A and B are shown apart, each in its own frame.
Chain A
Amino acid sequence: MEDKAFVAIRKVSKLYSNNKLPAVDGIDLSIRQGSFFGLLGPNGAGKTTLLSMICGLLAPTSGSISIGPDSVNNRKIRNNGLLGLVPQELALYPTLTAGENLAFFGAMQGLSSAVLKNRIKACLEITKLDARVNDKVENYSGGLKRRLNLAIGLLHEPKLLVLDEPTVGIDPQSRNLIFASLRQLNNEGMTLIYTTHYMEEAEQLCDDIAIIDSGKIIAKGTLDELLHDNQCQSILFRTNNPLSSALIEKIAALPFITKITSANSKTEILIGNDSSNSNILADVLESIKNTGLDITSLTMGATNLEQLFLQLTGTQLRD
């Protein structure tokens, strides 16, 4: 992965002038061409800051970033339309229609009128906005705005598309539509960097993932690698009544169990990597037998990224 990095982020830090702690703290990442790269982190982790530096909008305090052969502050990257940005904010003109927004941004990318016309059509199709093209953006729903925000980033067919939480505040339909478009673009060879704090989004979309918190990478790799490298087997069950504390202690004392949390009638058990889990489930069920508790639901298997994320970043709220 290191050898053919398309986006090479080398020891990058960013300290905002009015802050004490760096927003990005010595990040090293290689993103290969054609990957769908997920950048996960809680609020304030430094995702937007890192993306701004990748897009050349913000100079790193130290370190360097390059896309292909060129450093990001090379004007060539802009002129060649290598990079497309879908910002976290809705960077749209509310009093203009979708078509007018697209026409303006397309021209600013340097597209000629003939090319632009075709590209507007294509992008409206990808984001299914054709029917609303002549409506003013101020009358759009949140989902439509997000889709237009994406469409603008796609106008010039960038090789690298940078998306900063592109699905905030939209319904599942719009979200699925955006997901489908992004998958297709990735299949066609576009490299994507996608930030989110929705874990299931990264799980569904991304093949490479980095989790950052407080400006540092705390885990990176493919989804499988991440889940395997960490304590990611779990048993989750519900009972008709809450577990007694004696019972919780008893279960916690079983071999290979690293963590148990039980609240009300929901119990979650994390199992260490080194276990072969087949008999652990039996052990757990055995302990519950004869306590008068009925198990109403039971799942077992790899934890999802959500659990991993919470485990790595801690459960407390940020910001």
Chain B
Amino acid sequence: MFNMLKAAVIKETRIIFRDKEALAILFILPAAFVLIMSLALQDAFREQAGIKFSMLIVNKDKGEVGKSLVEAFTESHYFDVIIPESIPDTETIARETNDGKYQFALVIPEKATSGAANNSRYLFTGLKKYKKTPVEIKLYVDPAIRGDHRSVILATLNKSIKEIENTILVKAISKMPGAPGTVDPGGNKKPKLFSEVLDPFKNRISDKPSPTSVQQNAPGWGLLAMFFLVIPLAGTLVRERDEGSLLRLQTMAAPVSILLAGKIVPYFVVNQIQIGLILLEGVYLLPLLGGEKLELGLHPEAIIPLSFAISFAAIGYGLMVAAFCRTAEQATSFGATSILILGALGGIMVPKIVMPPLMQDITVFSPMSWGLDGFLAIFVRGADVSGIILEVGVMLAFGFICLTIGIVRFKYKLTHA
């Protein structure tokens, strides 16, 4: 049995490593992509320079708070501030931002200033008559806005509010000599007088910190490279079927499980080499060329189960493609096309954070999206193995389903001619 497996693995390995085109697709192409894209997009990932957003500000407040906020946004280079002549109702504002008439709309409620002052008094005196009701400033967002832009604006807004709050608190203290308690501007992150402005599209991905260029590109193109193994895998398998080797093998002693393992093992190893080389490229080669070093996060060992799961998904997908294709050419072209589509959908070419929410929702259908999420979790959020269990599970399930469909289909084709 072991002899058979060994011979099957050796044969498949020889076939892979003698296929120059496959090697170029599997190793050279993605390595080049990582290099080019990481360097090219380095600045784009740092900040978006020169972008302007239109923002409608509906200021119902007559006091300081409203004035300060309007000023803050008007002064910023990033915003074209629109002040409506008459105050529109909430529904109109919601509809118009949703339609993209302006990208953001900020609504400052009536009596925001006095409310905040009231709250500050309650804070210092604890008197019931100054009962605390946080002032609610609302932000409406065009759903087509990129997630990273959304989070930047949100952060800016909350920062401005916090500043205003500090001013109010400082003023309140100075008016109340001998009052107990101290103000610690910036100490507690959450505003006390205002409620925090939340992202209307929260739970998408805006809560995730942004990756650097190489943190996005290295695992992204690495993933694509791993899935590219579908091309040689499906190609050789279909050729074996066409050329009769598979039929001949069926008259021989070797069981199907050995034939299958003989395929899976070498491709699995190739996958691990691929991702290993690409990560090494990001960590060691890229800095030498003036790029950013690839930071692997706090638990680089979590990469191992992730890349195992990705490989399993890719191989399962390859076997399924092979089972459904009639010719090797078909397997090659369908394999390549479908992987590019899954890659685009998975946020490889265009990072998910810049996709609008609807597109982000669709990415769950690409296994590469899960793979990339796993890598980003490890690199950017410093996740350990427990932090990527969902991603690993989804990839394994995907691979298992593909493999099962592929085997069933292959058996059916061979016996139901």
Contacts and interface: CB of A to CB of B under 8 A. Distances in A.
B15 interface: yes
A85 B417 contact: no
Interface stretch (A100-108, A169-177, A209-217, A251-259): A100-108
Contact of B245 (A91, A106, A107): A91
Interface in A81-118: 81, 83-85, 87-93, 95-96, 100, 103-110, 112-113
A20 B304 CA distance: 54
Contacts of B18: 95-96
A88 B258 CA distance: 25
Q: Give the most central of B11, B14, B18, B253: most A CB within 10 Å.
A: B253
Interface string B258-274: 11000000000000000
A219 B242 CA distance: 32
B244 A89 contact: yes
Interface residues of A, number: 35
A96 B14 contact: yes
Interface in B233-249: 242-245, 247-249
A78 B15 CA distance: 26
A190 B212 CA distance: 70
Given A16-B417, A95-B18, A112-B3, A55 B251 contact: yes
Contacts of B252: 78, 81, 105, 108-110
B19 interface: yes
Interface stretch (A1-9, A56-64, A272-280): A56-64
Nearest to B3: A107
Nearest to A90: B243
Given A91-B243, A108-B254, A110-B253, A17 B4 contact: no
Size category of the B interface is: 20 to 34
A17 B417 contact: yes
Chain A interface mostly helix, strand, loop or mixed? loop
B250 interface: yes
Contacts of A105: 248-249, 252
Contacts of A81: 252-253
A271 interface: no
Interface of A: 16-17, 52, 55-59, 78-79, 81, 83-85, 87-93, 95-96, 100, 103-110, 112-113, 152
5 contacts: A17-B416, A78-B252, A84-B251, A108-B7, A110-B4
Interface of B: 3-4, 6-8, 10-11, 14-15, 18-19, 242-245, 247-254, 258-259, 414-417
